[in-house]
Structure formats: structure tokens, C-alpha cells
Amino acid sequence: LFVAALMSLSAFSAWRSADTQAEADRALTEVETKIRLASRWSSVTEATVARALAGAISADPGVTAAFKDINADAILRITELQKQLGALPKSDADKAQVAKIAAERKVTLELSGKITELRDAGKVDDARALAIGPFSSAANTYLASLREFVAMQERNAQTTRQQLGDARRQTVVIAAVLVGLIVVGALVGTALMVRSIQAPVQQAIQLAAAIADGDLSQRPEIQRGDEFGELMRALVAMGDALGTALGQVRQASDSIHTASAEIASGNTDLSHRTEQTASNLQQTASSITQLSGTVRQSADAAQTANQLAQSAAQVAQRGGAVVAQVISTMDAINTSSKRIADINGTI
């Protein structure tokens, strides 16, 4: 928006400067044309008046005859210049001055015609007096009006140039004011934008900090529909997901704790059973020792009595079976002890 405003301002300044310059160029061209035509008119008139005075004052008719055609051609050129000047746009002051010049020219031409009539009638002295007096005065007034018109156009040109400078300065001032307004607007817009961004960012930071501290109970009211609103909703969803995950972890931890307690209880029971088995083994070993003594006593007694020997033999056979069973039992107990040791190592 700021760039668009600057581009618009640049376009406006360029358009205004170009328009002002074009208007000034047009006005200056018109003024310069008026000055050129009026200056040409004045110079031709001065030469024509000088020739008319010379012809009227001179006593030589040849002088008058020599200037006759030249003056007639000059009058035609002045008439053409007058038409060209009259066709140009003019202010009210210009129109009044041109009308005054035209009237004074008419008076001068009428007096010039009377001088010619007097000379043609042979009244040379009267023609000379008219030329030196009224004609010369009228011609000077006529030429002064032409010079005044030229001076007016020069003043108009100066005024136009001054107006052009004023317009350029005005354009610069307007552009500076607009630039200032654009800058102020940009600063205000930037401040508002920063404020509109800072508040939701701060809210998001607070929510993220609360989640990081383990507070998953935060539920801020979210009314924004832009990216910051989406960010807040994402943070809330993340908090919910973390809460769910923590609940699952807590449940798993409780399950592990329960299983550990059960395993510990099983280990205690297994230890008691192992101790009981060891005690039984000790009792069995003691019984085997006693049985061995009995076998020896039975062998000694067999020498003295056949019946007792047979009974002792039967007892010995039963004792051997018992010993084999005891040995088998001890092997099983040994194997069970190794398994218990492995289980304890695993736990």
C-alpha cells in the first residue's frame, strides 16, 4: 500500500508538472508570437513614418515618388501583421490595447493621406506643416502604443514564467505534504500492524510457556480467523494431545508398578519355597545318612541270622530304591534352583 501510494504520488507529480509545463509553454509561445508580430509591426511602422516625414519635408518630388510604392507595400504588410495579431488569443487588456493601436493607426493613415493630397495639390508648405505637427504627434502616439503592447507581452511572459515557478513550487509543496501524510499513514499503519501481531504472539508465547511448565489446563478464548488463530488452535490441540499422552503414560506406569509389585511378591514366595526345599533336602540327606547306618547294621546282622539277612536284603533293596529316588529328587531340585537363579537374575 505504501509503495502504491508513492507511485500514485509520483504519477500525480509528473502529471501536474507536465500539465503545468505544457500550459506555460503554450502561454509563452502565444506571448512570444505576439511580441514578434508587434515588434515587427512597430519596426515597419517606424520606417514607414520616417519615409512619410522625409517625403513630406523634402521639396524634391522625386523623393515622395520613390517612397510611394515602398510605403504602400509597408502598409499592406502592417495590415497583415495586424490580422495575425488579432487572430491570437488575447486578454481583455490585450484587446483594449490592440483596439487603441488600430484606432491610432487609422488616425495616422488619415493624416498621411491628407499630406499626400496637399502635396499633390501643390501645397507643399501645408503638407510639411501637417507632417511635422499632427502627423508626427499621431505617429509617435501610435508607435508608443505599439511599444506598450510589446512591453505588456513581455510583462505577461515574465508573469507566466513566475506562475510556472509558483506552480512548480506548489507541486513540490503538495508532493511534500502528501509524502508526509503517506509517511505518517505508514507509521500509524505499521504501529497498528505491530500491535495486532504483538498481542496474539504474546498470547501464543504464554500458552506455549504454560504447556512447557506442564500446565495443560489453559483454554484461551480464540476468536481470530487468521494465521494467529490457527497457531493458537494448534497449540491448544498440542496441549490436548500431550495431556492424552501423559494420561496414557501414567496408566502404563501404574500398570508397570502393579506388575513390579506382583513380581516382587512372587520373588518373595519363591524365596520362601526355595528355603523350604533346601530344608527338605537337608532332612533327606540326614535320612540317607541314617539309612546308610541301618544298612551297615543290617549287613552285620545278616551274618548271624539268615532270616534277618533276607529281611535285611529286602530292606536294603527298598533302601536302594529310595536312594535312587532321593538322587533323582536332588537333581530335580538342583535344576529348579538354577531356574530360580535365572529368574532372580532376570528380575
Question: Does 150 share its domain with 268?
Answer: no
Q: What is the mean pLDDT of residues 284-304?
A: 64
Question: Does 184 share its domain with 278?
Answer: no
pLDDT at 212 over 70: yes
DSSP secondary structure, 281-334, as one string: HHHHHHHHHHHHHHHHHHHHHHTT-HHHHHHHHHHHHHHHHHHHHHHHHHHHHH
Phi, psi values for residue 217, rounded to 5°:
-95, -5
Q: Which domain holds residue 282?
A: 264-347
Q: What is the mean pLDDT of residues 271-286?
A: 67
Q: What is the mean pLDDT of residues 22-40?
A: 91
What are the tens digits of pLDDT across the range 55-68? 888 767 777 788 88
pLDDT value at residue 42: 94
**Helices and strands (H, E) in the chain, number of each type:** 7, 0
Question: Does 271 share its domain with 175?
Answer: no
Does 118 map to a domain? Answer: yes
Q: What is the CATH number of the domain that holds 130?
A: 1.20.120.1730
| Dist CA 85 CA 38 (whole Å) | 8
Question: Does 179 share its domain with 291?
Answer: no
pLDDT at 29 over 80: yes
33: burial class by Cβ within 10 Å (0-12, 13-18, 19+)? middle
1, 69, 134, 143, 183 from 110: Cα distances, Å: 73, 17, 11, 16, 71
The last residue of a domain, from among 174, 189, 204:
189
Q: Which of 296, 285, 275, 292 lies closest to 326 in space, CA to CA?
A: 285
Does 223 map to a domain? Answer: no
Does 160 map to a domain? Answer: yes
DSSP secondary structure, 115-130, as one string: HHHHHHTT-HHHHHHH
Please tell me the total number of residues recorded for the chain in this structure.
347
What are the tens digits of pLDDT across the range 66-103? 888 899 999 999 999 999 999 998 899 999 999 999 99
122 vs 273, more confident: 122
b/e 16-25 (16+ beta carbons within 10 angstroms → b): beeebeeebe
Cβ count near 36 (within 10 Å): 15
The last residue of a domain, from among 166, 189, 212:
189
Question: Does 18 share its domain with 157?
Answer: yes
Are 156 and 31 in contact, with CB atoms under 8 Å apart?
A: yes
33, 145, 158, 182, 228 from 161: Cα distances, Å: 16, 24, 5, 31, 58
pLDDT value at residue 259: 63
Question: Does 127 share its domain with 43?
Answer: yes
Cβ count near 263 (within 10 Å): 13
SS3 222: coil
pLDDT value at residue 59: 67
pLDDT value at residue 301: 60
Does 199 map to a domain? Answer: no
What are the tens digits of pLDDT across the range 144-168? 999 999 999 999 999 999 988 888 8
pLDDT value at residue 336: 80
Across the chain, mean pLDDT equals: 82
Does 294 map to a domain? Answer: yes
Q: What is the mean pLDDT of residues 271-288?
A: 66
pLDDT at 248 over 90: no
Nearest-10 crossing angle of helices 92-120, 136-212:
160
The CA R_g of the chain, rounded to the nearest whole Å, is 69
Indicate the pTM of the whole model: 0.47
Residue matched to cell numbers 520362601: 272
Question: Does 282 share its domain with 183?
Answer: no
Does 308 map to a domain? Answer: yes
The last residue of a domain, from among 156, 172, 189:
189
Question: Does 185 share its domain with 277?
Answer: no
pLDDT value at residue 141: 96
Q: How confident is the model at residue 262 (pLDDT cuts 50, 70, 90)?
A: confident
pLDDT value at residue 113: 92
151 vs 12, more confident: 151
- Widest pairwise Cα distance in the chain: 221
Q: How many domains does the chain have?
A: 2
Question: Does 182 share its domain with 290?
Answer: no
Worst-scoring range by mean pLDDT, 99-108, 217-226, 262-271? 262-271
Does 284 map to a domain? Answer: yes
| Dist CA 221 CA 295 (whole Å) | 95
Question: Does 185 share its domain with 272?
Answer: no
Does 239 map to a domain? Answer: no
Question: Does 181 share its domain with 271?
Answer: no
Question: Does 177 share its domain with 54?
Answer: yes
321 vs 97, more confident: 97
